[in-house]
Structure 1
Amino acid sequence: MNPSDPMQALYDSPPVAQLRADLALALRAAAHHGLAEGVCNHFSVELPDGSNRFLLNPRGLLWREVQADDIVLIDVEGRKLAGRHAVEPTAMFIHAAIHRIVGKACVMHTHMPYATALTLTSDRALDTTLSQNAMRFHGRTAVDANYNGLALGPPEGERIARAMGSAEVVFLGNHGVVVCGDRIDYAYDDLYYLERACTLQVLAQSTGRPLQPVAADIAERVAAETLGERLQSELFFEALRRTL
């Protein structure tokens, strides 16, 4: 490490160090909640200085072992600026495109099992009029039904970003999900409850009994009520900080 390197100085600055710690905590929490898959998938958060630089988890580490010093700083073109690890190519292409095109501060991409299971169905996504957990996502989801292989270049990352549009959750057909948010704690809370909602839907469907959705206006109201009071998201993340 070169202490005179401006990118290293930025990486070590207190605001960025806190973001690194929070991103690492979100990754460990996802592993704790069964949302990880090997050493694949990625979480990122943009620096709040408008510099088009963001933090990303490194290549080759299990999420449960990631600490703040393992997080890597890269730019919107996917170039590593600081950090001791390499980054995985598909992470750079997907996350750089979503940060640049969609303008989301925090991006979480997983292959978590129940949400991914729904991407394999003809509906491709969660029914946001079923469980209360699902209703918080009413009007907030998009579907990219056209699986196009691994994201090994900028065009595929850009295609995914455009499919997402203004949504905060995109179900990637035959692939997984992306959840975005303005803050790490809000995005992680959504990621956790998205998988809970998808789990309930898959379990309900597995009974073979008819499902009973609510009216769309009720789902819309529940979504507004959930997003209108985010203290619960903050408290959940702080509880994870204490216990993980």
Structure 2
Amino acid sequence: MSIDEDRSFDSPGLRKLRSDLALALRAADFHGLSEGVCNHFSVAVPNASERFLINPRGLHWSEVRAADIVMVDAAGRRLAGRHEVEPTAMFIHAAVHRIARKACVLHTHMPYATALTLTEGRALDTTLSQNAMRFHGRLAADRDYNGLALDESEGERIARAMSSADVVFLANHGVIVCGDRMDWVYDDLYYLERACMQQVLAASTGMRLMGVDRGLAARVAEQALGERLQSELFFAALRRMLAEP
């Protein structure tokens, strides 16, 4: 690692990104969205071709701090940071960053969203709950499970299935939620799982599910995304609640 790389990793801008990434991981565990020491959150390093911040291998999300975040290249090689990185960590993430042009990429196997990937519909119905409507027109479904993502080609296939969507449901697997800002993306991740939970609970009653007109769902999505102050305030509250010791 060069001196320039070391200074970049500890610059004020990257310290803030590392802090935000670590907070998102701790919050995801706090909200029950983690799974063992698996899955990854990544953020593209601004103005640096194919460099990314990602959570390290072997740490539970609840224990990740800003100092634990690692900088890697698109092949998953560590450029800075004190921990190792899972060799397969970037197979999905690098492709989504590069092909789908997403700055923040959050991949989880969170329970209710994953449950919907096991159904015939494969994804959330965005005409049901108000929480679901905020995702209307923003979802894609990769309907073809192809085994573990153990090579670059599988990551590229997933990224192309995502196209311009902010969220992709991966059949029999999990979800990816993307965006340009960590506070907004984490807010989407949280409310996506809430919407999926509401759909699963409603379906479990055995009663017919009653959605709204698609035009109304589109209008609600536009209203919800018209201002994101609530997303910023939520992330700020999480920072107070889950502050680093």
- Kindly state the Cα deviation for residue 89 of structure 1 after the two structures are TM-superposed: 2.6
Q: Which residue of 1 aligns with 2:148?
A: 150
Q: Which residue of 2 aligns with 1:134?
A: 132
Distance 1:98 1:87 in 2: 18
Q: Which residue of 2 aligns with 1:174?
A: 172
Distance 2:38 2:45 in 1: 23
- Kindly state the Cα deviation for residue 92 of structure 1 after the two structures are TM-superposed: 1.0
Q: Which residue of 2 aligns with 1:38?
A: 36
Distance 1:163 1:91 in 2: 19
Deviations 1:114-155 (A, max 9, x none): 000000001000000000000000000000111111111111
Distance 1:80 1:50 in 2: 15
Q: Which residue of 1 aligns with 2:103?
A: 105
- Aligned partner (choices 75, 84, 104) of residue 82 of structure 2: 84
Q: Which residue of 1 aligns with 2:238?
A: 240
Task: Give the TM-score normalised by structure 1.
Answer: 0.97
- Kindly state the Cα deviation for residue 50 of structure 1 after the two structures are TM-superposed: 4.3
Identity of aligned residues (%): 71
Deviations 1:153-179 (A, max 9, x none): 111111111110000000000000000
* AA partner of residue 154 (structure 2): E
- Kindly state the Cα deviation for residue 80 of structure 1 after the two structures are TM-superposed: 1.4
Distance 1:204 1:218 in 2: 20
Deviations 1:14-57 (A, max 9, x none): 10011000000000000000000000000001112142211000
- Aligned partner (choices 60, 63, 66) of residue 68 of structure 1: 66
* AA partner of residue 55 (structure 2): N
* AA partner of residue 50 (structure 2): N
Distance 1:71 1:210 in 2: 46
Between 5-14 and 207-216, the greater mean CA deviation after superposition: 5-14
- Kindly state the Cα deviation for residue 5 of structure 1 after the two structures are TM-superposed: 2.1
Contact 2:99 2:156 in 1 (8 A): yes
The number of residues matched between the two structures is 242
Deviations 1:192-222 (A, max 9, x none): 0000000000000000001110000110001
Distance 2:77 2:147 in 1: 23
- Kindly state the Cα deviation for residue 78 of structure 1 after the two structures are TM-superposed: 2.3
Two-structure CA RMSD over aligned residues (Å): 1.0
- Kindly state the Cα deviation for residue 7 of structure 1 after the two structures are TM-superposed: 1.5
Contact 1:72 1:83 in 2 (8 A): yes
Task: Give the TM-score normalised by structure 2.
Answer: 0.97
Contact 1:76 1:99 in 2 (8 A): no
Q: Which residue of 2 aligns with 1:119?
A: 117
Distance 1:5 1:85 in 2: 18
Contact 1:90 1:150 in 2 (8 A): no
Between 220-229 and 45-54, the greater mean CA deviation after superposition: 45-54
